Structure 1
């Protein structure tokens, strides 16, 4: 029994004795020597790396490094012996050399995986250490090469590097140290490919996962970075040029054979939509539509980077897109002789304006399209900015399709939150109020309408009051029936002076040419609701533009002849031909004029919505242009029998309530309908913009 007791005690002691700790450094060195010995002992140069023990040994080395770091953290110690060995013996440098040699075959893939996992799983910062960032730089130069079989691993490796930079922007200088500084973007020698060039090259892969990783890497690199990082990227890398060149290349792939109507319906896309499999499956399979989608996704990507980049980098990105893409590629297409080409590229530009959101890129787009002139225009100013003048002239092009597309472009611009657009197109010729005669320069709109001093009423308004179309024109209950629920205010009494301006627009079209009363749902009250909504949206755009609330009276004498500026000049000319133009063109002309009228600038309101304005010599306003059209309308409808019934029939056709049938004077009749609707729309805008107490 005593012997048995002693044996039991010995066994118990053996079980309680701790197993000697494995020497991590010896194990790490053994695995590394096992890899290097392979190159000494092997005789089969064509044996794939996956058939050797190299992948297993690399994984063991990685596991040791991760475990060692965990133990060091628990003991609150510095770098462990295995990591020291990795750094001092230039293990990563040697692996990079082996990967470049692709010996054994497939070695570059194993090296990429090892580097990626070391940088992602080891928590200690490493990229500031020369024996890490030097091989990382060399490995980056091996990525993004033509016909690469390891794009997936390359993209993941680059993403991890960018993730490290995101955590510590200071290490970017180590990664970019050997970045080539080419004067112009383009392919460099195989050993000189830099960090940014590799990323942009990977964005052109045919594999969506690779593209996604590369684009997300650029977002990590740029978004929210400090100004120093932005300046470093700007000064030591071709980031701006490469992003712009990619956009140029994608734009050039869009064919001129595309249907402009399909382009106009182009839905808003985000760059991440490229990786949305459901959207990809639902999208058309046409190669042409694919080119369009890829272009707009890259445009959105650039717009996203510009929005979130440091200011100094954001400005240069937008400027580079202006110079390389807009001026270098888009402008020649807009100024070409082919009408088909001009139509497609104008429509594309309209979509581009709609999809541009960053303030820096929008500013460059405005500068490209409109220039930076701020002085009032003269009639002879047709060469100060070639593209601007050409686009405005295209609003009055011999091709109705080009006119419509260009008007849509300007309408898109007018919906952008930048005061330079409206100032450039209209306000700079209205700021000094040279459109008004000196007799009205010190009289407000309300005073001239109030009847307090009849001698101050302009001659033109007196003529209008004597006109039978204006004499008994007062608001009816049906016309204001929908206002109260909208604004919670009582309808204006018919004797209120401010109502005369609204009433003047409502009564421009003669009674026999009106059709609203014969078709339900087309009354004036619906326009008030729509005008109220659009006015709120427009006012939100310009809330911080610093516009005056009241008319600014100038001491300057008006020039011999007032000129409204090229843009309004063309719009008024088009409006004057409303009875002879296609229906779609008329809708677009009146839509642009309505949108301008919505802006809450006092001079715009006076010039466009005051029927009683006394114009300076040679001047014309929106109301006076409409009066001339009405005069022409009266002459024409005298020769059309049963005009009211024909107008009602055409209106119902346009609303889809009756089948299409041949009708004489169809263009004229459609023009009359657009004219009636436009006058109601202007009346609604004038009403909405009245002071609260007037409503």
Structure 2
């Protein structure tokens, strides 16, 4: 071991002598001559390259270049790198790789180029003796029946990574800027080598004369898309990663170049169409998503291509067809697309494709062509004869509601609540209710004392409120306290199961509601929403309230909560909870204020729930051991008991969802209090 350490020390000292570059250069040249001598001395042209010393020598050359760079000053080019550039070693290697001599040489060349681009830190691709062989090597990729797809995809990823780091070099990879090449072509070292500079000028002049009038070479993009279709998942994955690197370039000029002078946008959108027709070809989910940092010029072009080729050309016909399978598959696909979309530009295209551009109040008679066709049918699908389609479509709308696009909320809901015509003018409300309305307080006190609303879990409202009765007479505290308590006490005692099952209390809903409220507040912070309710205006017959197609189908679904499948009920209540969590005063009033006096024919979420409870009370009378059966079903849903068939199972599950939904709404109402007011209220 001592001898080994001494040898290591001597070797290190040899590398650290006063003139290490001489030794490194000699070694570098020796390895290169070893490669070229092989072609002079060999007599067996069939011997695979892996059985020669070429791979080892290429590795040694690469290690020397990396070591040399670490020893140089920032702006210097080492003698080994100068030798590689002046003697056009990359050009020679590219020629040897194309000739496939010895067999397998192209694989070794691709690996060498990849590692060189990955491990050398200083800019390289603007140098003519680098980007020219890189261009040639790109043309050798993606050929039919290629045996080197894996190495090709890695090489192209290395090129894309360098372009991402130094966007301007894309001009050289695509051969789009001949004058720019002449201006930017530099010598192989900072001081300049006359031979290298001469080569640069001569070769560039020749290229200008023969190619300046030709179309830009877009082989780089086409090869990436081609490899993205590979049957080898790792190859396709790496190729699409390269595409994502290109679409996330932050330099405006380069993004404009990609958008206007390459077929990237059209090829990507066509690829999405192919994957839609043959989803099993997809190497992995999400590779066609637009990056949220994509520069606007490229993002607009990409989003437009997606809209034209995929959304309008493929998705819309599938969603409007009669086949339930086709509708289900493409609705689920759209949900995933919305979920993974990060680009504001693509999100804008998606939202307007699905919902249209309308922002005026809806009317019950609005049907195509008076309203956006796809929006109309998607909302109808929320009440489809197929429960699976209804669930999938509701999930799509929930994903839309999670996105930072003001138009989605305006189009689906807010345009119909803007005038507040759902409430009777002059009836008093959350914006007009006096601070100490004696009639209201008496009514609420009687409500708390009514045995029907007695709740052992919450002890009436004693656990909800830490205020005395006198303190609660302030308008803000009374309103929120009674709103929360109204939702908590809505479900009758015999239909509640929380007190019978551990871990099913209200506290968890407060935590979840706070998270949801923060998310919705963050998403909508820049939307310019009012902080207070819009003053009520006198109504005319023309202003009869209509909640709009979307809210109508949601409330209709709530009225059927006792007859619908459990999974469907969960999805309906999830969408409504998401809407209730948004900090818009009209949404809060319509969905969370139980005490608004509704205009004739209007309904709110609370009034709809009250009707459901009335129906439930009638049904309870005809089901023996109702509470015990309800607890059994609750424990089965929580995995505490083995699932068995229980009579009236659908209704019982509906009751459980109803109870949880009321707790969700109460929690959302509670967390939407200003922090100062929350200090005077404690969650149940």
Instruction: Tell me if TM exceeds 0.5.
Output: yes
Residue 686 (structure 1) aligns with: 669
Quote the RMSD (CA, aligned, Å): 4.8
Q: Alpha-carbon deviation of 1:578? A: 2.0
For residues 598 and 316 of structure 1, the distance between their equivalents in structure 2, rounded to whole angstroms, comes to 35
Structure 2 vs 1, CA of residues 73 and 434 (structure 1 numbering), >3 Å: closer, same or farther? same
For residues 123 and 328 of structure 2, the distance between their equivalents in structure 1, rounded to whole angstroms, comes to 55
For residues 231 and 66 of structure 2, the distance between their equivalents in structure 1, rounded to whole angstroms, comes to 38
For structure 2, which runs of at least 5 residues remain unmatched after alignment?
1-18, 178-215
**Partner deviation per Cα, 1:404-424 (whole Å, 9 max, x = no partner):** 222222223323333333222
Matching of residues 299-448 of structure 1 within 5 Å? 299=288, 302-303=289-290, 306-383=291-368, 384-440=371-427, 443-445=428-430, 447-448=432-433
Determine if contact 2:447/2:453 at 8 Å carries over to the other structure: no
**224, 231, 247: which one aligns with 2:272:** 247
Residue 201 (structure 2) aligns with: none
**230, 236, 239: which one aligns with 2:255:** 230
**224, 228, 239: which one aligns with 1:199:** 224
Residue 548 (structure 1) aligns with: 530
Determine if contact 2:163/2:246 at 8 Å carries over to the other structure: yes
For residues 67 and 659 of structure 2, the distance between their equivalents in structure 1, rounded to whole angstroms, comes to 82
Matching of residues 494-513 of structure 1 within 5 Å? 496=473, 497-498=478-479, 499-513=481-495
Determine if contact 2:31/2:57 at 8 Å carries over to the other structure: no
**Partner deviation per Cα, 1:34-61 (whole Å, 9 max, x = no partner):** 969969x9999x6558499995999699
**Partner deviation per Cα, 1:558-583 (whole Å, 9 max, x = no partner):** 53421101111001111112222223
**Partner deviation per Cα, 1:191-245 (whole Å, 9 max, x = no partner):** 9761122233334445566456545544554545311111112222222233333
Residue 285 (structure 2) aligns with: 296
Q: Alpha-carbon deviation of 1:615? A: 1.9
Determine if contact 1:504/1:611 at 8 Å carries over to the other structure: yes
**429, 450, 458: which one aligns with 1:479:** 458
**Partner deviation per Cα, 1:54-78 (whole Å, 9 max, x = no partner):** 959996997899699989979x999
For residues 119 and 525 of structure 2, the distance between their equivalents in structure 1, rounded to whole angstroms, comes to 50
For residues 31 and 632 of structure 2, the distance between their equivalents in structure 1, rounded to whole angstroms, comes to 93
Determine if contact 2:84/2:90 at 8 Å carries over to the other structure: no
For residues 648 and 333 of structure 1, the distance between their equivalents in structure 2, rounded to whole angstroms, comes to 43
For residues 161 and 584 of structure 1, the distance between their equivalents in structure 2, rounded to whole angstroms, comes to 48
Matching of residues 549-628 of structure 1 within 5 Å? 549-553=531-535, 555=537, 557=539, 559-628=542-611
For structure 1, which runs of at least 5 residues remain unmatched after alignment?
1-17, 180-190, 255-287
Q: Alpha-carbon deviation of 1:620? A: 1.2
Q: Alpha-carbon deviation of 1:479? A: 0.9
Q: TM-score, normalised by structure 2?
A: 0.73
Structure 2 vs 1, CA of residues 232 and 351 (structure 1 numbering), >3 Å: closer, same or farther? closer
Structure 2 vs 1, CA of residues 295 and 420 (structure 1 numbering), >3 Å: closer, same or farther? farther
The number of aligned residues is 610
Residue 539 (structure 1) aligns with: 521
For residues 35 and 250 of structure 1, the distance between their equivalents in structure 2, rounded to whole angstroms, comes to 46
Structure 2 vs 1, CA of residues 630 and 149 (structure 1 numbering), >3 Å: closer, same or farther? closer
Structure 2 vs 1, CA of residues 415 and 604 (structure 1 numbering), >3 Å: closer, same or farther? same
**Partner deviation per Cα, 1:488-513 (whole Å, 9 max, x = no partner):** x8357496432333333334334444
For residues 518 and 620 of structure 1, the distance between their equivalents in structure 2, rounded to whole angstroms, comes to 33
Matching of residues 124-163 of structure 1 within 5 Å? 127-130=125-128, 132-163=130-161
Structure 2 vs 1, CA of residues 390 and 492 (structure 1 numbering), >3 Å: closer, same or farther? farther
User: Equivalent residue of 1:366, what SS?
Assistant: helix
For residues 514 and 345 of structure 1, the distance between their equivalents in structure 2, rounded to whole angstroms, comes to 39
Determine if contact 1:65/1:83 at 8 Å carries over to the other structure: no
Residue 198 (structure 2) aligns with: none
**Partner deviation per Cα, 1:92-126 (whole Å, 9 max, x = no partner):** 66765565455665554465466567767888866
Determine if contact 2:320/2:327 at 8 Å carries over to the other structure: yes
Structure 2 vs 1, CA of residues 625 and 138 (structure 1 numbering), >3 Å: closer, same or farther? same
Determine if contact 1:419/1:545 at 8 Å carries over to the other structure: yes
Determine if contact 2:249/2:255 at 8 Å carries over to the other structure: no
Confirm whether residue 490 of structure 1 aligns to residue 472 of structure 2. Answer: no
For residues 522 and 137 of structure 2, the distance between their equivalents in structure 1, rounded to whole angstroms, comes to 51
For residues 426 and 71 of structure 1, the distance between their equivalents in structure 2, rounded to whole angstroms, comes to 61
Q: TM-score, normalised by structure 1?
A: 0.72
Structure 2 vs 1, CA of residues 473 and 48 (structure 1 numbering), >3 Å: closer, same or farther? same
For residues 540 and 79 of structure 1, the distance between their equivalents in structure 2, rounded to whole angstroms, comes to 52
For residues 657 and 233 of structure 1, the distance between their equivalents in structure 2, rounded to whole angstroms, comes to 57
